[in-house]
Amino acid sequence: MKITPMAIPEVLLITPARHGDERGWFSETFRQSALEEAGFTGGSFVQDNHVRSTTRGILRGLHFQKPPHAQDKLLRCARGTILDVAVDIRKGSPTFGQWVGAELSADNAAQLLVPKGFAHAYCTLTEECEVLYKVTDYYAPAAEGALRWNDPALAIDWIVPAREISTNERDGKASLLANLDTPFVYDDGA
């Protein structure tokens, strides 16, 4: 399993190895100890989710859960291709308001670890996508937060043109970064 920090180093790109023969392939997609060795301190994953999207251009997010129910997320795309994005929403962070993204697909087997303190979203780049993800806290509707996916201050390149993106009403009316009262605070470890 190859684990690489992204441009915002708390966000990790994980590429599991695939071992194949004439029957197909085998891949270990999750190992808690490997994440811990790479510096992940978010705790244990407690819930798995599986999402199906039927068309290209479906955008889900930018979501987060507020403390005490904040979640780390580990995502992979089991069918199709998505652009997976994390936005730093930690007060005082040198990368506050910046985003990183990676294409995750069934073919590349890449995964993205999005830690607490980041808003998260993905956009489907192909028809028929299935996304699997783990979280470190249970879904808590009262703790939900969101950031608007098309906020000009974020300038996220979703690859799919904005006019072709489909999202729900809640995500379309989420807070702009300038109005976000974030509960997350950057800790540089000093």
Exactly one of 19, 50, 63, 138 is catalytic; name it: 63
- Residue 63 falls in the annotated catalytic set: yes
Q: Are 4 and 12 in contact (CB under 8 A)?
A: yes
List all residues 6 or more positions away from 101 whose beta carbon is below 8 Å from its beta carbon: 83, 84, 85, 86, 156, 157
Maximum Cα–Cα distance across the chain:
55
Catalytically annotated residue among 69, 120, 122, 133? 133
Whether 139 is catalytic is no
CB burial string 146-176: b at 16+ within 10 A, e below: bbbbbbeebebebebeeeebebeeebeebbe
Question: Cα(2)–Cα(152) distance, rounded to whole angstroms?
Answer: 34
Pairing mode, strands 73-79 and 111-114: antiparallel
How many CB atoms lie under 10 A from the CB of residue 22? 4
Instruction: Please list the active-site residues.
Output: 63, 133
